Amino acid sequence: MRLHNKRALVTGGSDGIGLAIAEAFSREGADVLIVGRDTKKLDAAHKQLGGTIETLSADLATSAGIAAVGEHVKESGRPLDILVNNAGVAFLVPFETVSEAQFQQSFALNVTAVFFLTQGLLPHLAAGASVINISSYFANKMIPKRPS
């Protein structure tokens, strides 16, 4: 168990890539905190992974959500060894139809949240902690038949 006695936080960890990351960390012995917006998905992830998985519902596209995560980590009294910024959103619609609200939501979660969550958690990162920022495969490759 390579991550025994390590504490990891995975944003967007209630499904998809984030859930797989949380599962791998847990399997390697880490205590994992999954952060997501959807409490039903968080409950399902907790049930699926069990063990030392902890969940927290927070909307990282908001300052209040970011602050809630920071406060939760602070109150635990235990530093993070790993922070995985995985939460993200994409609107797969034609460029000309993207609304300002969609753009703002995407930017808030995909860029702003990563920056300010990491900044806010700096005092709670253990010496030698790792910060991992996940990006989409599609940042470098177009989706076939995607609206243009």
Predicted local confidence at residue 79, as pLDDT? 97
Confidence grade of residue 5 (pLDDT, cut at 50, 70, 90): very high
Which tops the pLDDT comparison, 19 or 147?
Answer: 19
**Closest CA relative to residue 70, chosen from 126, 120, 110:** 120
**Closest CA relative to residue 44, chosen from 62, 22, 60:** 22
pLDDT at residue 145 greater than cutoff 70: no
pLDDT at residue 114 greater than cutoff 60: yes
Predicted local confidence at residue 90, as pLDDT? 85
Cβ atoms of 34 and 13 within 8 Å: the answer is: yes
The CA distance from 6 to 87, in Å, is 21
Predicted local confidence at residue 65, as pLDDT? 98
Confidence grade of residue 50 (pLDDT, cut at 50, 70, 90): confident
pLDDT at residue 144 greater than cutoff 60: no
Q: Which two tokens stand for residue 129?
A: 């902690």
pLDDT at residue 148 greater than cutoff 60: no
Structural domains for the chain:
9-85 (3.40.50.720)
Confidence grade of residue 72 (pLDDT, cut at 50, 70, 90): very high
Predicted local confidence at residue 105, as pLDDT? 94
The reply to whether the predicted model has a pTM over 0.85 is yes
Q: Give me the residue label for tokens 């995560």.
A: 69
Q: Which two tokens stand for residue 58?
A: 């927070």
The CA distance from 117 to 119, in Å, is 5
The SS3 call for residue 73 is: helix
